[in-house]
Structure 1
Amino acid sequence: MAEPVERPTDGPVTRWRVWKDRMSPVPGNGADDRRFVAGSAVLGLVVAAVAVLAAGPWDTGQRKAEHDRVVAEERTGGVRHVPDPAGPRPAPSAPAVLTALGERSGRTAPVAAGTLDAVLTPLLGAPGLGDVSAASVVDTATGTQVYAHGATTPMTPASTVKIAGAVAALSALGPDHRIPTTVQVSKDARTLTLVGGGDPTLDGAALRALAAGTARALGDSAPGKVRLTYDTSRYSGPALHPISPNENIAPVSALMVDEGRLDGSDHGPAPRTADPAREAARAFAEQLGKAGVSVRSDATSGRAGKGATTVATHLSEPLSALVERALTNSDNDIAEALVRQTALKAGEPASFAGARRAVTARLKALGVPVAGAALVDGSGLNRQDKVTAQLLTSLLTLAAHPDHPELRPVLTGLPVAGFSGTLGERYAATSRGTGLVRAKTGTLTGVNTLAGTAVDPQGRLLAFAFLTSGTTSPGEAEASLDALATALTRGGR
């Protein structure tokens, strides 16, 4: 039996709205510009967090708050839109932060090195954090590392490694990229081929649309029953993750429906099919039948022959939405898809090895310190993954930089403390960190990690990464990590 790995995620996620970060670089250059844009980003995050406190789940809270904020900013005309006085009640810590952001964004002094030492160093010594701990904190407005403890020591990141895969994919492909799934028909119209492009979120509705499109394209030309094949050649290498079989991840395939889940769930551990592509083809055959296209026998693996043409295409949600879902829910299947899409863009095989080379090269090209890193998978389920705390804070700082708006989904996708995803049930309602900490969690047996952003009392956005190993109690480790992040929202006090 495989050892326990990433824990179930919190909060239902039934659908994902597409929200494009509308912030753009401001005129000028230097640290002042970075502080202004980082402050603007934080304002949006805090406003969204405040709305979530009353609104509840992700789909009707955080995403709606962020969407509504963008819409409000884009309104034109002479009417002033006044907020409803009966609107959501903010978190206890929010008013001071909102005031600081509104009055001082871009004008507050950077965090002084050494100001966090007296608080963070003792907290890192908490028994719950195990044998080895590493930490890095960066002022995103200046890019200055303001606290470090073993920050360049490679450690097992668990699911915080998903941040690296998300940055690489967004940088390589852009936030608007969509993953295609297609249907091809042979020259004689006797054979259909369902071609997987690597979209793990393909679902029944998408298959129905593909089947309907195929039926329309065939019209009366289909000669009785057709043969159905399915093509998974876009991916290569072993399909099974080293921890497999495991309910945290399906066999990695270029063709699957609902991430290979067999229980109707959309996040967290679940029983998985052993052959996602075959199951997808079987489900597609059923939809073809309902659309009036008869399929003879069971579908078989194969590639379309020469002269075949594409008759139907389904595009995934934009990469920005996939990244957000992967980070919020700690979705291992999407995370593995993201790094394979990066590999394909780089001309590498879409395999574990090819993805490792592509992601590492992409991060190196971005100027991120990759020394000592071993990015052996996209999900973080492999214990041989190694990153430094400095690498993680460098990625988060890059995502906050005004020169990289394409990376903003890395920040907007981070779970919000006390509100969403894997932080939905962490941080008490009265905690200072509630709503002000957004972070990716990581959990393997004996390994607990947390990496994300926190807003300090002056409205500055701090990127942090805390990595531990040798933990014996997940609950104690998580409480200690949350205390470290919360300390940042108090300015080290």
Structure 2
Amino acid sequence: MPDEARWRLSGWFDPWRAATVEQRRTGLLAAGSAVVGLAVAATCVVAAGPWDSGQRTAERQRAASGAHPGDDGRPGPDPARAPGASPVLAPLGAPLASPSPDTGERSVPVPTGPGLADALEPLLRDDALGPLRAGAVVDVATGRQLYGAKAGTGAIPASTIKIATGVAALSALGPGHRLTTRVTATPNAPGRIVLVGGGDPTLTARATRGPDGSHPASLRQLADQTARALRARGEHTVRLDYDTSLYTGTSRHPILPNENLAPVTALMVDEGRRDDSDRGPADRVKDPAAEAARAFARLLRDRGVKVTGDPRPAGDKGGAEDGKGGADGPGRTLASVRSQPLSTLVERMLTYSDNDIAEALTRHTARATGHPASFAGGRAAVTARLKRLGLPVAGAHLADGSGLDRADKVSAGLLAQLLARAAGPDQPALRPVLTGLPVAGFTGTLRDRYGEESVGRGVVRAKTGTLFGVNTLAGTVVDADGRLLTFAFLTNGSTDPAAAQRVLDRLASAVANCGCR
């Protein structure tokens, strides 16, 4: 990774060292925002607490370290300690300024509505945007919406709806929750074992690590454990069934077949991909659960276990995540593997816009809150969870968890408030929604946006959303005065997606580059 990228992501980016002369003339405010914004990211890490594994481990360590990364890119000493930069944001979103001589309180100016309007409305009038164009900017410290343009109007959000999915799942389950895939045996069926889906789309049959260098749950490890358990029982021949009863209702999303999503089932490996890709569009198998069971049978045979016949569906006989077996039947667990923590799954979902994880988390939110683990149950569960958090869900329609359904309707105001709630000092469990946001010009779905000349590069952190005629962007910035803000911009009906994206990027950069008073 180039030095500039390491500096930016570590929170120690020196804009004067990296910028061109012209950038220095035009990017003064953005430079201050970059340092402050990444200090906010560091505080997000401290407030949220440590999580093992995950694509953000290195980023968290760099953000929490008080030293420059070395030329080899490794973090400085003692990466667990709090950042040494002064001042540090004590609660997340606390103002960055010297104490007032009169009150002793630290404060920075709050952008005004007219000031933001001056900066944003000329961009919102750009012809590259569709007929529906909406925006909202929220001050994290107060939760107050500072600017709105049709901010309460429902629009197709595309993948920015994953912000709502992540907030709801973390709120209902907690960041440390893990998804368990098991193998069970039943006393009344000797020689029969059941592979029980735990709703973990990141379960892998590959021998390698995950796309971020981390370790998702491994089907190979599950086969190792199962083979050992069977040998201990004196069993060398088994019949393999598989159980998908954790989820209910149809597995078919309205957009299927589609290379962006597999059928939504409680049992799959590598998201049902036919190739070795780890993210993005890919051909998917028609029956992920059956393919997962066949892969497991092959792994057992490789370990000396004879598996008779083809794996078959177990209905409600095999077991569920609670270990009781199916809907209610008994089942003894022979082996199990657990996913990475929910915090990591949410981060991966947001960074790479992972649709399979999004649909899985919607169903787990439903199960955790007493709703059916189906499309309808997920809609009801996520909506109810957002209401419980006091978010403005009036007029919202959450048709799915991924944003692929064009029936989804979400307002810019709701998206901006979701991010503000995730940044709140009273909601540390929601912090992975922030740490999972792509960094403009560097990571995830923003990696190839915000070129070298953009003042938002390395400063804007945002979730993207794109469907035919739909372009959206929602995320966080620290403005030129050091105020932590959230924003959301949505347009529907655009005809040139690349041009529309550029306008959205300029809108986010304008918020970051503006004191706006």
- The separation in 1 between residues aligned to 2:238 and 2:372, in whole angstroms, is 32
Q: Is 1:45 the counterpart of 2:41 in the alignment?
A: yes
Query: Distance between the aligned counterparts of 2:468 and 2:417, measured in 1?
Result: 26
Give the conservation status (yes or no) of the 8 Å contact 1:47–1:65. Answer: no
1:224 Cα deviation from its structure 2 partner: 4.3
Q: Which residue number corresponds to residue 150 of structure 2?
A: 150
CA distance in 2, matches of 1:359, 1:42: 30
Instruction: Decide which moves more: 211-220 or 245-254.
Output: 211-220
User: CA-to-partner distance for each residue in 1:385-406, whole Å, 9 max, x for gaps?
Assistant: 0011111011000000000000
Q: Residue 514 of structure 2 aligns with which residue? A: 491
Matched-pair contact (CA < 8 Å) for 1:349–1:355: yes
Q: Does 2:243 correspond to 1:246?
A: no
Identity of aligned residues (%): 54
- Checking the alignment, whether the CA contact within 8 Å between 1:189 and 1:222 is kept in structure 2 is no
Query: 2:41, 2:63 within 8 Å by CA — same for their partners in 1?
Result: no
Indicate the SS of the match to 1:295. Answer: strand
Partner of 1:340: 363
Q: Deviations over 1:344-381 (max 9, x none)?
A: 00111111000000000000000001000100100000
Q: For residues 411-437 of structure 1, what are the alpha-carbon distances to aligned partners after superposition, in whole Å with 9 as ceiling and x for unaligned?
A: 000111000111000001231100110
Query: Helix, strand or coil: the match of 1:183?
Result: strand
Q: What is the Cα deviation at residue 122 of structure 1?
A: 1.1
1:166-199 CA-to-partner distances (Å, cap 9, x unmatched) read: 0000000000000010000122531000000100
Q: Which deviates the most, 299-308 or 245-254?
A: 299-308
Q: Cα gap change, 1:464/1:138 in structure 2, threshold over 3 Å: closer, same or farther?
A: same
Report the CA distance shift for 1:236/1:41 in structure 2 as closer, same or farther (over 3 A): farther
Partner residue in 2 for 1:130: 130
Higher mean alpha-carbon deviation, 312-321 vs 207-216, is at: 207-216
Moved more, 403-412 or 203-212: 203-212
Partner of 1:83: 68
Equivalent residues of 1:114, 1:146 under 8 A apart? no
Q: How far off its partner does 1:84 sit? A: 5.6
In structure 2, give the amino acid aligned to 1:146: L
Relative to structure 1, the CA distance from residue 100 to residue 423 in structure 2 (aligned partners, 3 Å threshold; closer, same or farther) is: farther
Flag the 1:84–1:380 CA change in 2: closer, same or farther, 3 A. closer
- Matched residue of 1:462: which SS? strand
Residue among 432, 435, 440 paired with 2:458 = 435
What SS does structure 1 have at the residue aligned with 2:135? strand
Residue 162 of structure 2 corresponds to 162
Residue aligned with 1:298, SS: strand
Compared CA separation, residues 287 and 246, structure 1 to 2 (3 A): same
C-alpha separation between the residues in 1 aligned to 2:330 and 2:170?
Answer: 34
> Which of 237, 245, 266 is the equivalent residue of 2:278?
266
Matched to 1:344, the amino acid is: R
With over 3 angstroms needed to count, the CA separation of the structure-2 counterparts of 1:87 and 1:285, relative to structure 1, is: closer
2:62 to 34, 53, 68: 68
The match for 1:281 is 293
Alignment match, 2:224: 212
Are the aligned partners of 1:179 and 1:197 in contact in 2 as well (CA < 8 Å)?
yes
SS in 2 for 1:371: coil
Instruction: State whether residues 45 and 412 of structure 1, in contact with CA within 8 Å, keep that contact through their aligned partners in structure 2.
Output: yes
Q: How far, CA to CA, are the matches of 2:42 and 2:236 in structure 1?
A: 59
User: Structure 1 pair 209/109, CA: closer, same or farther in 2 (3 Å)?
Assistant: same
Match of 1:5 in 2: none
Match of 1:91 in 2: none
1:86 shift after superposition: 4.8
How far is 1:44 from its partner?
4.6
CA–CA separation in structure 1 for the residues paired with 2:70 and 2:262:
47
Question: 8 Å contact 2:134–2:412 — kept in the other structure?
Answer: yes
Q: 2: CA distance between counterparts of 1:122 and 1:220?
A: 72
Q: TM-score, normalised by structure 2?
A: 0.79
5+ residue gaps, structure 1, are 1-38, 49-58, 74-81, 89-97
Alignment equivalent of 1:228, drawn from 216, 219, 240: 240
Question: Does the residue aligned with 1:211 lie in a helix, a strand or coil?
Answer: helix
In 2, Cα distance between the equivalents of 1:426 and 1:133? 20
Q: What are the Cα deviations for residues 245-294 of structure 1, in whole angstroms up to 9, with x where unaligned? A: 00000000000000000111010000000000000000000111122221
RMSD over aligned Cα, in angstroms? 2.4
Q: Distance in 2 between matches of 1:476 and 1:381?
A: 21
Distance 1:128 1:239 in 2: 37
Compute the displacement of 1:236 (Å).
1.1
Q: TM-score, normalised by structure 1?
A: 0.82
**Structure 2 unaligned blocks of 5 or more:** 1-34, 45-53, 74-84, 90-95, 99-105, 208-217, 319-324
C-alpha separation in 2, matches of 1:459 and 1:219: 62
| Separation in structure 2 between the aligned mates of residue 99 and residue 474 of structure 1, nearest angstrom | 41
What is aligned with 1:104?
97
* Matched residue type, 1:451: A
Alignment-derived partner of residue 30 in structure 1 = none
Question: Does the 8 A contact of 2:391 with 2:417 survive in 1?
Answer: yes
Question: How many residues of Structure 1 are paired with residues of Structure 2 in the alignment?
Answer: 428
1:271-420 superposed matches below 5 A: 271-302=283-314, 303-304=317-318, 306-420=329-443
Does residue 1:475 correspond to 2:498, yes or no?
Answer: yes
Cα distance per residue 1:133-179 (max 9 Å; x no partner) = 01100111111111100000011100000000000000000000000
